[in-house]
Amino acid sequence: MAASDLESKAKEAFVDDDFELAAELYTQAIDAGPATADLYADRAQAHIKLGNYTEESSQAPVKNVEPPVAPTVEDKEDVANIEDTPPVVEPPSKPKYRHDYYNSATEVVLTIFAKGVPADSVVIDFGEQMLSVSIEVPGEEPYHFQPRLFSKIIPEKCKYQVLSTKVEIRLAKAEQVTWTTLDYSGRPKAVPQKISAPAETAPRPSYPSSKAKKDWDKLEAEVKKEEKEEKLDGDAALNKFFRDIYKDADEDMRRAMMKSFVESNGTVLSTNWKDVGSKMVEGSPPDGMELKKWEY
């Protein structure tokens, strides 16, 4: 298999978090030749993910070494001077492009500030918890960004867009948690809090009681039965009688009842609108009684 094919399969394995397979495929690609610096660098990245920090140094090519020469007095003095000199710590190399990100409830938006790069020079792959970004513009130093992400994503829902001033990548969250960093190595030990939706109105609390639970439907039925069987006298009985009829009457019957009852001063109650609708209803007192009008 050609070295380029092995390199492609190694990158796929790296994106899928299979770092052991990726390291093996990078080794095969190096053996197939030509062994480029990118292949060694990518294989070293796979070994770092596996925690094999000394593996790469043992596999890297070794230049021919001349036989050792016995140090002179001057050499020993130089070594002593060097040992007395504090070591110079070189600052980490600055990445070619700056990046930044922000959270929303459902996604993380990553921005790589790569200005004016052609869209066909940008290759982005998404894994379950991996992101691989490669920007290779002819004649320029290539850019590779392959972090293990803070949390899992949904690869098929992730997308990116190459704009004139930047590359915008939208990572769909598998869990609605706040990413406090982009890389998994900076993830805190404590489990991140989920971003929860606004709580709905809480149900009315029920309080425990030492008494037996009441059957409210049964109690309501008993009250209605008692009301129905209740025996009333005088005006109370008349009002109940009037309410019972009025409750089950249609609109014409109700109009007839109201008109006849009011116009007759409470002595006539008719449900026939055709009979009372077109005339004045005269009062009809019980036998032996006389109807009198009030004078104001």
- Give the β-pairing of 122-126 and 131-135: antiparallel
pLDDT at 254: 86
pLDDT band at 32 (very low <50, low <70, confident <90, very high): confident
Q: What pLDDT is attached to residue 289?
A: 67
Question: Residue 201: which pLDDT band, with cuts at 50, 70 and 90?
Answer: low
pLDDT of residue 121: 94
Task: Give residue-wise pLDDT tens across range 37-69.
Answer: 888 888 888 888 887 766 655 555 544 445 555
Residue 170, phi then psi, degrees to nearest 5: -110, 115
Residue 278: the pLDDT is 84
- Name the 3-class secondary structure at 149: strand
User: Of 72 and 57, which is predicted with more confidence?
Assistant: 72
Mean pLDDT of 78-85: 59
Q: Of 63-72, 129-138, 175-184, which gets the smallest average pLDDT?
A: 63-72
Nearest by Cα to 41 from 32, 28, 30 = 30
Question: Which percentage of the chain shows pLDDT scores above 90?
Answer: 28
- Residue 35 is predicted with a pLDDT of 80
157 contacts: CB under 8 Å, gap ≥ 6: 172
| pLDDT for the residue numbered 233 | 62
Residue 124 has pLDDT above 90, yes or no: yes
pLDDT at residue 59, rounded to an integer: 58
The whole-chain average pLDDT of the chain stands at 78
Return the pLDDT at 202.
Answer: 54
Tell the burial category of 256 from Cβ atoms under 10 Å away from its Cβ (0-12, 13-18, 19+).
Answer: buried
Residues with Cβ within 8 Å of residue 263, at least 6 apart in sequence: 280, 281, 282, 283
Q: How confident is the model at residue 276, as a pLDDT?
A: 82
Residue 108 has phi, psi (to 5 degrees) of -115, 125
pLDDT confidence of residue 26: 84
Whether the per-residue pLDDT at 296 is higher than 50: the answer is no
Express each pLDDT in 251-275 by its tens digit.
888 888 888 888 877 777 788 888 8
Report all structural domains of the chain as residue ranges with CATH numbers, in order of start. 3-50 (no CATH), 99-172 (2.60.40.790), 232-284 (no CATH)
Please tell me which residue, 238 or 171, carries the higher pLDDT value: 171
pTM beyond cutoff 0.85 = no
What is the structure's pLDDT at 137?
A: 92
Q: What is the pLDDT of residue 62?
A: 47
